[in-house]
A and B are shown apart, each in its own frame.
Chain A
Amino acid sequence: MTGFALVGHQFRYDQKAFWRNPAAVFFTVMFPVVLFLILAVVFSGEEVDVRGGIEATTYYVPAIMSLAIISATMQTLAMTLVIAREDGRLKRGRGTPMPPWVFIAGRVGNSIVVALMMLVLLAAIGALFGADVPWDRLPAILLTLVIGAAAFCCLGIALTAAIPSQDAAAAIVNAMLLPLYFLSGVFIPEDQLPDGVIAFADLFPVRHFFDAFMDAYVPAGASAVSWDNLAIVSLWGVAGLLLAIRFFRWTPRSG
């Protein structure tokens, strides 16, 4: 098989393994959906004081989309790659003629497809709660998805270097992401967070990714494409890519 055919081959099996993995399906697919439903029901009819006042449900669509896409990319990759590395599965793969980039491309492709699926799913559920899908700004939404998913994939691969064992994977990933979701206004609307909190969250990519989706859903200015936010997310992605190239390892840390 040529390189690209091989990526497709790898992707097929990564998809099978993903959908059969209950933990991955729960945290990546079920959890964001349930979270959105809870938030939409609890805050139904309330207004959030951003961008001249919007429905809480409209606020939570881009918010939970960002969470779901980060979960499908950064979180899924960091967790599954560390488990595969410590299992010796990455090492076994390196002993075959398969080029290493093919393996990574298969996994990244898997994450991006799941991310796209979550975007569609959350947009559809959001529409049921009155958050209309902004069809005219679809290109901006897809661009945000692709740039964000790519960047968070790079960050997830880079993060594996900081995770010493399978047991530490969930703890490290959640310790990193959960506070950022809170500080970035993903769980609690930003009008209820003190000013300094958002300024602090602006140092990290989660907030900018969320903001870029918000711009596509509820434009703040003339452009639906949030170039400044996407630029910052991309920079984080490039930093992740460089760290991943330098520090990613194929052999188990333990043993």
Chain B
Amino acid sequence: MWISYGYEVELCWYTDSMKIILAVADYKGKNVVFVSNEFQVLSLEEAARLVKSGVLEDVSLVRRGSSVYLRTKKKVPRERELNALSLTSSELTAFAQGLSHAKSTPALSRYLELYRTSLAGEHEFIKPIRNLFKVPVVLVREALVAHQAYISSAATHFKIDPFLLGAILIDEISATLPLEAIFENITAKGFGFNTSVGVAQVKIDTANDLIRKGLHNPNPKDTKLPFGRMNPSARLYLAPYVVQPKHNIFFAAGFMRFVTDFWRAKADLSIRPEIIATLYHQGYGKPHANPRPNERGEQIATEFYRLAEIWL
């Protein structure tokens, strides 16, 4: 997964001043993913833009040839230096495998402690099914509401339920906090794998498939789209389109429309939101008369649907 909450489009989501509380280095030791004190996950490019606009404190931008990186400013206390806040992608992987590793990684331990502390004042949480962490409602609401216009226009365009689309997004946003977004930023970029990207976590190959089906084309003037056969270079080419919140949400809505139509002869999914939510994760599935939801689909269609109704 490669998350972008749409920095260029929704700048309002960021506050006037931010600090980095965690940095994740790639295999070369270069910090490429950053987490702010407001728990927003930033790519290097996003962080660089925030440094330029004076929003991100404690660091400055350094250019070396065509490469850009962040460096700690002088006089910044040692505990806020990037070195002290950084961990490697391997350490993050180790954490994903077993929680005990986190204790041996000071930067990650501190990050999780900050995350837990930040929750102390919160009274409302979301706990996605099979997720390790509960997520403050306020963070999820902010991320969702930032995309309200796209949700509304995508739902109208594809004649789908906007609240169900919103509920699916709530599920994806909740599932990517507080670690997934970081982890996936580091692993997904640059490898050309068929990974899930963006706020709606759409698979890149699925997006290409939806373009081929004529459901949504992020750039009709781009003659390379859609690709006939997907390979790493095709995915790397398509990913920057798919990750954009507008296209990402339109692809998600297009998927919902397609799956509803695909199942129509056997089951009316327009009255079964829990099945659409289940198929969103599991894939199209072979239509049959008596589909059953999984627990994640149930949670989306009930708990998250109610939240979407209130927030959108």
A-B complex is real: no
